[in-house]
C-alpha cells in the first residue's frame, strides 16, 4: 500500500513568519507534526511519502503513486485542504481526512472518502481494522480521551528537517481551564493527559539523531496543565539537555499561573525554555469574566509577565478585542497595556466564534452568528458584536498599525530587554550568523527602522550582551509583524 500524506498550505498568518523565513534560509516555520505521528501509527510495511505544500508543490507523480491519500489541516488551511482533496479525487484516489478542521467542520468538505475524527489513537485503529476486513466506513468519531502514553515517535524521516525553522513535539493534551471562546476543550478535553518522561526523551533523542539542533516547540494546549507530571518530567529533560550539551532551545504555551510557581519557572529555565506563549486576552477584567478567563482576573497581569521574563523566558501574548464588555476605550487600553508590559510578539485578534465552542453556542442561540470562522486574525468578524461593527474593526486595525509601527515596536523590545534575564544555553548557529548579516543589510541599511535597529543593538551590546541574539531575532521578526499588520489594515 502506497500512502501519500499531504499537508495544506498556510496563508500569510501572524505565526507563518513568511516574510522572514528567508533570513534563516528556511521554507516553513513548523513541520506537520500530526501527519508525521499518524505515519508512525500505520503499518510499517506500507510505503509512505509526505508532501508539505508549504515547502514544495504537490506533483502529479506523487498523486499517481499513491493508493490512498491522508490529509490533515487546521481551520486556517481549509481552502487549501479542499483544493487538494478535489485535485486528488480528480485522479480517482481514496482520500482520508482528519485533524482539527475536519473534526469540527467535516460537513463543509466534499470528496473525502473516510473521515478519521477526534483522536487518532482511538479512531484510526478502528479504520485500519475495517480497512483490513474490506469494509471501511465513511466516518470514525469518538468521545474517548485516550492515554497518550502509547503515542509513537513521529516519522521524522519523511521530511527534510532543514526546510523548517523550528521542530515540534507534543508532551500533553488538554487544558484545565474553561475559556468560552476556546476550542481546546472540544478537541482534547479539560483533563490534561501527559506522555511519560521516557516517551518525551525518546522523541527528543529521535530529533537529535536526525541531526536537528535549535528551537523545538512543545505544542501542548497548556504545558503546565498538569503541574505535578510536568515537575516529575522536567528533571529528566534537564538531565537530557545537559548530557547532550543543550542542543535544543524550547518554547511552549502555558497559562498565566506559571508566574505563581517559582520552582516550576526555575526548572523550565534550567531545561532551556526561552519562550512561552500566554493567553492574556485583555486588561479589561469585565471582559475576562465574560469569557470565563478567571485565571487572569485575580492577578496583576503586568507583574505576571515581568516575573516570567525575569526568569529567562520571553512572553509572547495573545490579546482579543470584541467582547461584549468592551467599549471603544478598549483599543487605547490594549495599546497602553501591551507597551507597558513589553510583550514584543503580541498577537491581537478580533474575537471569533470557533465552531461548537461555548461562545459559538451562545451566539447561535442569540441569533448573532454571521459566518464561519477563518481561523486567522484577519480583521474579519463572524458574529454581530455589541459594539458597532465598523468601530470595532477600525479600532482593531488601529491597534495593529500602532503596536507594529517602528517606534512602538522598538520601544517594546527595549522594555522587554530591561526585564529579561537570559538563561538559555545554546551555541550561535551558522543560520543565526547568516540571519544577523542579512539583518544588517535589510534593516540596518535599507529599512526606515535602521536608526532604531542600531540603537537597540548597541545598547544591548553594552548593557546586556547575552540578550543580543534575542534582540536581533526580534528586530527581524518586526519585518513580518509590520507587513502582516499592513495587510490587515489594508483589508
* 399 in any annotated domain: yes
Mean pLDDT score across all residues of the chain: 97
Tell me the pLDDT tens digit for each residue of 252-299: 999 999 999 999 999 999 999 999 999 999 999 999 999 999 999 999
For residue 130, what is the domain's CATH number? 3.40.50.280
What pLDDT score was predicted for residue 372?
Answer: 86
Establish how many alpha carbons lie within 13 A of residue 372's alpha carbon, considering only the half-sphere containing its beta carbon: 12
Range 126-153 average pLDDT: 97
**Assigned C-alpha cell, 347:** 498577537
93, 193: one domain: no
Q: Give the torsion sign (CA, 472, 475, 481, 483).
A: negative
Range 379-388 average pLDDT: 93
Share of the chain above pLDDT 70, in %: 100
Residue 280 phi, psi dihedral angles, 5° rounding: -85, -45
* 387 in any annotated domain: yes
Q: Which of 398, 419, 440 is the last residue of a domain?
A: 419
37, 60: one domain: yes
Q: Which of 373, 394, 419 is the last residue of a domain?
A: 419
354, 438: one domain: no
Tell me the pLDDT tens digit for each residue of 130-142: 999 999 999 999 9
Range 218-227 average pLDDT: 98
Q: Which of 91, 106, 140 is the last residue of a domain?
A: 140
Residue among 338, 364, 454, 431 nearest 20 (CA): 431
pLDDT tier, 374 (very low <50, low <70, confident <90, very high otherwise): confident
* 273 in any annotated domain: yes
271, 384: one domain: yes
* Predicted confidence (pLDDT) at residue 318 exceeds the cutoff of 80: yes
What pLDDT score was predicted for residue 171?
Answer: 98
103, 225: one domain: no
318, 178: one domain: yes
* 458 in any annotated domain: yes
What is the rounded distance in angstroms from the CA atom of residue 165 to the CA atom of residue 17? 10
* Predicted confidence (pLDDT) at residue 380 exceeds the cutoff of 90: no
Residue among 109, 17, 3 nearest 54 (CA): 17
Tell me the pLDDT tens digit for each residue of 419-456: 999 999 988 999 999 999 999 999 999 999 999 999 99
Residue among 211, 145, 155, 185 nearest 31 (CA): 155
108, 196: one domain: no
316 and 276 in contact (C-beta within 8 Å)? yes
* 474 in any annotated domain: yes
284, 387: one domain: yes
Question: Count of domains in the chain?
Answer: 3
* 360 in any annotated domain: yes
Domain that holds residue 286: 166-419
Residue among 308, 258, 262, 270 nearest 419 (CA): 308
Share of the chain above pLDDT 90, in %: 97
SS3 labels along the chain: CEEEEEECCCCCCCCCCCCCHHHHCCCECCCCHHHHHHHHHCCCCCEEEEEECCCCCCCHHHHHHCCEEEEECCHHHHHHHHHHHHHHHHCCCEEEEECHHHHHHHHHCCCCCEEECCCHHHHHHHHHHHHHCCCCCCEECCCCCCCCCCCCCCCHHHCCHHHECCEEECCEECCCCCCCCCCHHHHCCCCCEECCHHHHHHHHHHHHHCCCCEEEEECCCCCCCCHHHHHHHHHHHHHHHHHCCCCEEEEEEECHHHHHCHHHHHHHHHCCEEEEEEEEECCCHHHHHHCCCHHHHCCCHHHHHHHHHHCCCEEEEEEEECCCCCCCCHHHHHHHHHHHHCCCCEEEEECCCCCCCHHHHHHHHCCCECCCCCCCCCCCCCECCCCCHHHHHHHHHHHHHHHCCHHHHHHHHHHHHHHCCCCCCCCCCHHHHHHHHHHHHHCCCCCCCHHHHHHHHHHHHHHCHHHHHHHHHHHHHHHHHHHHHHHHHHC
For the whole model, what pTM was predicted? 0.96
What pLDDT score was predicted for residue 73?
Answer: 98
**Assigned C-alpha cell, 468:** 543580543
pLDDT tier, 11 (very low <50, low <70, confident <90, very high otherwise): very high
What pLDDT score was predicted for residue 379?
Answer: 75
What pLDDT score was predicted for residue 377?
Answer: 73
What pLDDT score was predicted for residue 145?
Answer: 97
283, 347: one domain: yes
Residue 174 phi, psi dihedral angles, 5° rounding: 100, 160
64, 202: one domain: no
108, 246: one domain: no
pLDDT tier, 144 (very low <50, low <70, confident <90, very high otherwise): very high
**Assigned C-alpha cell, 159:** 521530511
* 146 in any annotated domain: no
* Predicted confidence (pLDDT) at residue 310 exceeds the cutoff of 90: yes
For residue 216, what is the domain's CATH number? 3.80.30.20
* 157 in any annotated domain: no
Residue 317 phi, psi dihedral angles, 5° rounding: -125, 145
111, 180: one domain: no
pLDDT tier, 491 (very low <50, low <70, confident <90, very high otherwise): confident
Tell me the pLDDT tens digit for each residue of 73-124: 999 999 999 999 999 999 999 999 999 999 999 999 999 999 999 999 999 9
Tell me the pLDDT tens digit for each residue of 461-486: 999 999 999 999 999 999 999 999 99
Amino acid at each position: 500500500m502506497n500512502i501519500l500524506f499531504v499537508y495544506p498550505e498556510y496563508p500569510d498568518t501572524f505565526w507563518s513568519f513568511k516574510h522572514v523565513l528567508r533570513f534563516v534560509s528556511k521554507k516553513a516555520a513548523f513541520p506537520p507534526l500530526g501527519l508525521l505521528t499518524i505515519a508512525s501509527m500505520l503499518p510499517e510495511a506500507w510505503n509512505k511519502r509526505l508532501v508539505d505544500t508549504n515547502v514544495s508543490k504537490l506533483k502529479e507523480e506523487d498523486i499517481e503513486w499513491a493508493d490512498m491519500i491522508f490529509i490533515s489541516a487546521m481551520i486556517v488551511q481549509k481552502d487549501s485542504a479542499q483544493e487538494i482533496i478535489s485535485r486528488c479525487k480528480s485522479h480517482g484516489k481514496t482520500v482520508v481526512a482528519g485533524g482539527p478542521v475536519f473534526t469540527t467542520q467535516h460537513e463543509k468538505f466534499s470528496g473525502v472518502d473516510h473521515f478519521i475524527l477526534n483522536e487518532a489513537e482511538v479512531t484510526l485503529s478502528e479504520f485500519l481494522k475495517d480497512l483490513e476486513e474490506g469494509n471501511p466506513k465513511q466516518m470514525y468519531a469518538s468521545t474517548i480521551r485516550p492515554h497518550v502514553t502509547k503515542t509513537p515517535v513521529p516519522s521524522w524521516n519523511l521530511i527534510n528537517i532543514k526546510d523548517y525553522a523550528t521542530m515540534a513535539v507534543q508532551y500533553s493534551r488538554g487544558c484545565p481551564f474553561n475559556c468560552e471562546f476556546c476550542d481546546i476543550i472540544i478537541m482534547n478535553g479539560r483533563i490534561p493527559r501527559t506522555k511519560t518522561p521516557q516517551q518525551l526523551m525518546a522523541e527528543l533523542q529521535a530529533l537529535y539523531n536526525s541531526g536537528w539542533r535549535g528551537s523545538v516547540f512543545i505544542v501542548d494546549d497548556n504545558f503546565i496543565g498538569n503541574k505535578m507530571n510536568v515537575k516529575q518530567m522536567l528533571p529528566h529533560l534537564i538531565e537530557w539537555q545537559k548530557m547532550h550539551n543543550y542542543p535544543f532551545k524550547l518554547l511552549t504555551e502555558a497559562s498565566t499561573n506559571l508566574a505563581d510557581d517559582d520552582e516550576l519557572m526555575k526548572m523550565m529555565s534550567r531545561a532551556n525554555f526561552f519562550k512561552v506563549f500566554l493567553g492574556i486576552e485583555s486588561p479589561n477584567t469585565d471582559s475576562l469574566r465574560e469569557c470565563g478567563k478567571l485565571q487572569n482576573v485575580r492577578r496583576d497581569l503586568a507583574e505576571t509577565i515581568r516575573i516570567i521574563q525575569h526568569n529567562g523566558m520571553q512572553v509572547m501574548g495573545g490579546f482579543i478585542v470584541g467582547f461584549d464588555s468592551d467599549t471603544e476605550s478598549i483599543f487605547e487600553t490594549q495599546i497602553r497595556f501591551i507597551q507597558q508590559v513589553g510583550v514584543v510578539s503580541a498577537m491581537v485578534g478580533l474575537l471569533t466564534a470557533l465552531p461548537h465552542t461555548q461562545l459559538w453556542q451562545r451566539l447561535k442561540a442569540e441569533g448573532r452568528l454571521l459566518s464561519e470562522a477563518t481561523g486567522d486574525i484577519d480583521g474579519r468578524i463572524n458574529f454581530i458584536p455589541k459594539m458597532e461593527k465598523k468601530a470595532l474593526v477600525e479600532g482593531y486595525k488601529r491597534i495593529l498599525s500602532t503596536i507594529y509601527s517602528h517606534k512602538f515596536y522598538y520601544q517594546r523590545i527595549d522594555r522587554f530587554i530591561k526585564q529579561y534575564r537570559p538563561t538559555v544555553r545554546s551555541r550561535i548557529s551558522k543560520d543565526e550568523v547568516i540571519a544577523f548579516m542579512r539583518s544588517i543589510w535589510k534593516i540596518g541599511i535599507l529599512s526606515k527602522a535602521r536608526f532604531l535597529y542600531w540603537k537597540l543593538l548597541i545598547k544591548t551590546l553594552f548593557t546586556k550582551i547575552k540578550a543580543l541574539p534575542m534582540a536581533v531575532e526580534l528586530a527581524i521578526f518586526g519585518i513580518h509583524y509590520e507587513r502582516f499588520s499592513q495587510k490587515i489594515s489594508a483589508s
